[in-house]
Amino acid sequence: QETHIGPADTNVLPKLQGFKIFSTKYNGRSRGVAILIRETVVWEYVWHHEDFHGRSLILTCKLHGQLYTFVNVYNPAKDKHLLDGLKIKLKHSPVLVIGGDFNTALEPELDRTATKKNAQHNALRKCVDRLRKRFELEDIWRTMNPQKREYTFCRGVRESRLDYFFMQENSVSLVQSCEIRQTEISDHDPVCLNLYSGGVYPPPEIDPNDRIKIKNHVESKNKKSGPNMARINLPKKDVSFDSKGRESGHGARGSGDAAGEPAHRESPKSVGPQTEDISTPFEKLAITEESVN
């Protein structure tokens, strides 16, 4: 997760038309993360926090009345303080989604091609483990692919899975898919997470692991909505969070202090009807919706 957008790059983000953008800046050579929300998505701003060192961004908002907290992280390779700082700043949310570049292989036997032990990976892995234990977080891609070997970072002959999406155990049933995609313009590949939106989350009487009943429940709500009402969709890409953009690079890495103080912003207005998918040119979390045709 590095957008490589610094204070001098004021002309870059305005070119991304059609999105509400939350971003951090550090310098034009390293760090920086962003969360993008397509302007046609129905949402309500609640709170956000920007790390002044360009390493993390927290956004709490409502989608279809469901409260979400999205966290975008770039953990520099030698930074052992960032994730411990996040533990303090994260607020309770029914749905917590944390994504980003954590610069460590969580399961070295499966997540790295190199066999030699890496002290740097070991140190950062302990930081990630503490965060996961604190919030009972699941590694979503690994949960869906228990023994698969696939990587998000390549440099020479070395390959590693360093980019992750984490969600709490009680929200895993919201996951529709999580996959690693390919790119030729970065040494990190994108990871794409698709969720069922809060508007289609099954009622208590439906087993959250019974996908057939969930599908029938959603289709029933769609039929009742009528042609002139906002539709509740069970989409191929209902709510999407893309951990990687099309212009990116591994960039410089460095250590830093714990996350900075909260940045206060005027609350954006909720916008537009629910629609569409995403495609934007930065390493980010992007929130979008797409109807089933």
Binding residues for Mg(2+): 2, 101, 103, 187-188
188 — phi, psi (to 5°)?
A: -115, 135
Q: How far apart are CA 174 and CA 182, in angstroms?
A: 24
Q: Which of 48, 121, 188, 217 is catalytic?
A: 188
- Burial bucket for residue 8 (CB in 10 Å: 0-12, 13-18, 19+): exposed
Q: How far apart are CA 197 and CA 187, in angstroms?
A: 31
Query: Going by C-beta distance under 8 Å and a sequence separation of 6 or more, which residues neighbour residue 145?
Result: none
Q: Which residues are annotated as a binding site?
A: 2, 101, 103, 187-188
Residue 139 annotated to the active site: no
**Angle, in degrees to the nearest 10, between helices 82-89 and 119-135:** 10
Q: Which of 51, 79, 101, 238 is catalytic?
A: 101
Residue 188 annotated to the active site: yes
Are 203 and 210 spatial neighbours (Cβ–Cβ below 8 Å)? no
Distance of CA 188 to the CA centre of its chain: 15
Residue 74 annotated to the active site: yes
Q: Which of 74, 151, 164, 196 is catalytic?
A: 74
Residues with catalytic annotation?
Answer: 74, 101, 188
